Amino acid sequence: MDRFKEYGIKIWRFLKEDSWKSWMVSFVLIIIVIKFVLFPLLSLVTGTSLPIVIIESCSMYHEQVLDDWWGINGDLYSLYGVSKEDFKSYRFVNGLNKGDIIFLVGGKKYNKGDVIVFNAHPTASRYYPIIHRVVGTDPIETKGDNNNLQLVANPEFSNNRAGVDEINISISRIQGVAVGRIPYLGWVKLIFFDFMKPADERGFCRGSTQPKL
């Protein structure tokens, strides 16, 4: 027991050192704890295997304040039976930004206006999950706030390069519903991958409504 205590003290002193070796080991340990301890615990508590996601596109971005944004998009949402007053009651009424960190909880029932994360259609080439707002519940269908069209599994549809289908989403494809966010902190990770995207998908969100995944 004394030997283990002695090793523990040595390790603790090493981690407290102001050296590049100590910093490197500490960084690796943090990653291990997050991946193998924190994430499993969050998954258990939240009821989803994906409790935290980073928004990688501009599909939920709002360039304008709500009144101006609704003036541009309101007619489209009326097609789904959503009024301005309805929309005001939704979570994330001012949209979400690329780089936001989003917290999810699992569930079996999803309501119109919920922002959910779901897996793409099995035939889609884009495998990572998509975060959009529910606009229909029977069946479940979504739309990105910053998209002027819904995405359908049609490879010939020029605005849907990956063949994503959000018209009929099965419960099994849904990872969870968004309940909170930390603005922009996800750019700490995105900055290392964003340059590999097509030119029109790089950088911060800006401009008018565009069909983005």
Proportion of the chain above pLDDT 70, given as a percent: 87
- Residue ranges per domain, the chain? 2-46, 52-201
Give the bridge partners for 152, in sequence order: none
Question: What tokens appear for 44 in the block?
Answer: 């258990």
pLDDT at 87: 97
Q: DSSP E strands: which ranges in the chain?
A: 52-54, 101-105, 115-118, 130-137, 140-143, 174-182
Question: What tokens appear for 116 in the block?
Answer: 């959910």
pLDDT at 209: 44
Across 5-9, 47-51, 133-137, the highest mean pLDDT is recorded for 133-137
Please state the pTM of the whole predicted model.
Answer: 0.82
Please determine, for residue 155, whether its predicted confidence score (pLDDT) is greater than 60. Answer: no
Cα 108 to Cα 44: distance, rounded to the nearest angstrom: 16
Q: DSSP E strands: which ranges in 75-206?
A: 101-105, 115-118, 130-137, 140-143, 174-182
- Give the model confidence (pLDDT) of 49-89 as tens digits: 899 999 999 999 999 999 999 999 999 999 999 999 999 99
- Give the model confidence (pLDDT) of 198-212 as tens digits: 888 889 997 644 445
Please determine, for residue 122, whether its predicted confidence score (pLDDT) is greater than 70. Answer: no
Q: Which residue has the tokens 């999810």?
A: 104
Give the bridge partners for 132, in sequence order: 116
For residue 11, count CB atoms less than 10 angstroms from its CB and return exposed for 0-12, middle for 13-18, buried for 19 or more: exposed
Looking at this protein, which amino acid is placed at residue 206? Answer: R
Please determine, for residue 137, whether its predicted confidence score (pLDDT) is greater than 60. Answer: yes
Angle (CA) 45 191 147, round 5°: 75
User: What is the sign of the dihedral through the CA atoms of 123, 125, 127 and 131?
Assistant: negative
Question: What tokens appear for 141 in the block?
Answer: 């269908």
Please determine, for residue 20, whether its predicted confidence score (pLDDT) is greater than 90. Answer: no
Q: Would residue 102 be called left, alpha or beta, if left means φ above 0 and alpha means ψ between -120 and 50 degrees?
A: beta
Strands of the 115-118 sheet, one edge to the other = 52-54, 101-105, 174-182, 115-118, 130-137, 140-143
Q: SS3 for 101? A: strand
Among 174, 83, 180, smallest CA distance to 135 is for 83
| Helical pair 20-33 and 2-16, crossing angle rounded to 10 deg | 110
